Amino acid sequence: MKIITLRRFVPENTIITPGVLLEDKMPFAVTLELPWKNNANFISCIATGEKICKRYSSAKYPDTWQITGCDGRDLVLLHWGNFLKDTHGCVLVGEKFSDINNDGIMDIAESKNLLNEGFHELMKRTEGLDEFKLIIEQSYEWII
């Protein structure tokens, strides 16, 4: 089974939780999540640990991934998006961090604009799969 790691950086700042997606220890996309708030629906990132991601599609998010095993939460997705307001407890995937709207809060840039960026890279690496293992871990240092 394919394994992808989400390494989160847990800063003292509790507004966002930035991270990086890695395959075979090599980074290929960045992530943005809400801060940890005891796994509460819609306002918290999900707990660390091993999860299984399964193909998911809806009108709003066609062809993406649902993260299963989220301890009492459902419909937690890996999906594209730019701003913290886009997440509602999901994991946003993109190419790089940038304060797009100049509000002082880091956003995700180039999430799904071009075929070689962030979210598309995740989909390319998981093409043909029905599921993969996502290992979510935390770091208090921004290291890869």
| Mean pLDDT value of segment 11-24 | 86
pTM for this structure? Answer: 0.91
118's enclosing H/E stretch is helix 118-125
133: its two tokens: 């293992």
130: its two tokens: 């029905």
* pLDDT > 90 in the chain, percent: 69
105: its two tokens: 């809060």
Q: How many CA atoms lie within 13 A of 21 on its CB side?
A: 27
The mean predicted confidence, pLDDT, of the chain is 90
Region of poorest pLDDT, from 15-19, 66-70, 110-114: 110-114
10 Å CB burial of residue 33 (0-12, 13-18, 19+) is buried
pLDDT on residue 140: 77
pLDDT on residue 116: 58
CB within 8 A of 7, min separation 6: which ones?
19, 20, 22, 137, 138, 139, 144
CB within 8 A of 3, min separation 6: which ones?
23, 132, 133, 134, 135
Kindly indicate the confidence band of residue 118, based on its pLDDT and cuts at 50, 70 and 90: confident
